[in-house]
Amino acid sequence: MDVTERELTDPWEGVLVSPTRGSEVGVLVLAGSSGRIERERARILAQQGIAALAIRWFGGPGQSPGICEVPLETFTAAVDFLRLGGARRIGILGVSKGAEAALLTAVHDPRVDVAIALSPTSRVWCNVGPGRDGAHYPYRSSWTWQERPLPFVPMDDSWTPTEPDSGPVAIRGWYELSERSFSHLLSPAEIPVDMARADLLLVAGGDDAMWPSLPFAEQLAQRRLSAGAAVRLIARDDAGHRPRLPGENPASASPRFQYGGTPEADALLGKAAWPHVLDALGSGSSPTPST
């Protein structure tokens, strides 16, 4: 399918990739803590007839340099943009911290029709990187809504990695320790997906070495089911933190972090999720939902 690309500089850096013939389906595409603009993913979605908007949501001009008290209005403004462009069905697709943003935006903005969370969390975590003041500490919420920080879980800095100092580190254990250390803060920080009008699609790997995204996804799914709301959960026990959708290149290795999984397993998870992604957005076939 022929697509066109439009570079954006205001109110955020980004790219809008649209089918040349137009589309009534629009999706906001969010990266995780890499901070990159997900151009490749936006192009793949646009080739399926979906207008895809990928933006830089922190680290850009006028934005917090880290994921620290990022206004959720950043994402509701993107919903405005897609709607003004003619989209009648709105989705948000995010990975990792971008999945956290996608879920929270769907909770707070009833115009979001579908939230697709790859390697999600079930609760709000503290900042990753500095805020606008340049400070990393004390820990603060990753997000604000209407200028008020959302309740969050901080990190327990007594954690130490088990890997040698010279190699990439698996930090899943840091999150698991922090859950135990701050168990009294978990409930206020839960993402209330049962309150969201949006359809919910969760994609997670059991071998995620960044954080326990599959247990998190199962918590989110149970929260939805307990409220009588629909949810789909697509999982593979051998996949890691970075599922790859069909047509995407394998994720590059990191000198800092272990992500878990293998390129093959991550690609198979993305392949299994892909028809559900298209169905949720209103494009493609209609697979049987799974929970």
pLDDT digits (tens, 9 = 90+) for 81-99: 999 999 999 999 999 999 9
- The answer to whether the CB of 145 falls within 8 A of the CB of 72 is yes
Q: Where are the domains of the chain?
A: 3-153+187-251+261-281
Give the Cα-Cα-Cα angle 240, 245, 246 (nearest 5 degrees): 130
- In sequence order, which residues have a C-beta less than 8 Å from that of residue 159 and are 6 or more positions away? 173, 174, 177, 178
- The answer to whether the CB of 2 falls within 8 A of the CB of 258 is no
Average pLDDT over residues 7-12: 96
Q: Give pLDDT, residue 166.
A: 76
pLDDT at 199 over 60: yes
Tens of pLDDT along 124-164?
999 999 999 999 999 999 999 999 999 999 999 999 998 76
Q: Give pLDDT, residue 164.
A: 66
DSSP 216-251: HHHHHHHHHHHTT---EEEEETT--S----TTPPPP
pLDDT at 287 over 60: no
CATH for 3-153+187-251+261-281 (3.40.50.1820, 1.20.1600.10, 1.10.10.10, 3.30.465.10):
3.40.50.1820
What is the pTM for the complete model shown? 0.95
C-alpha closest to that of 202 among 224, 179, 170, 173: 224
Tens of pLDDT along 155-196?
999 999 987 677 899 999 999 999 999 999 999 999 999 999
Tens of pLDDT along 10-35?
999 999 999 999 999 999 999 999 99
- In sequence order, which residues have a C-beta less than 8 Å from that of residue 57 and are 6 or more positions away? 12, 30, 35, 63, 70, 74, 75, 98, 101
Percent of the chain whose pLDDT exceeds 90? 93
Q: Give pLDDT, residue 285.
A: 34
Structure tokens at 255: 């000198």
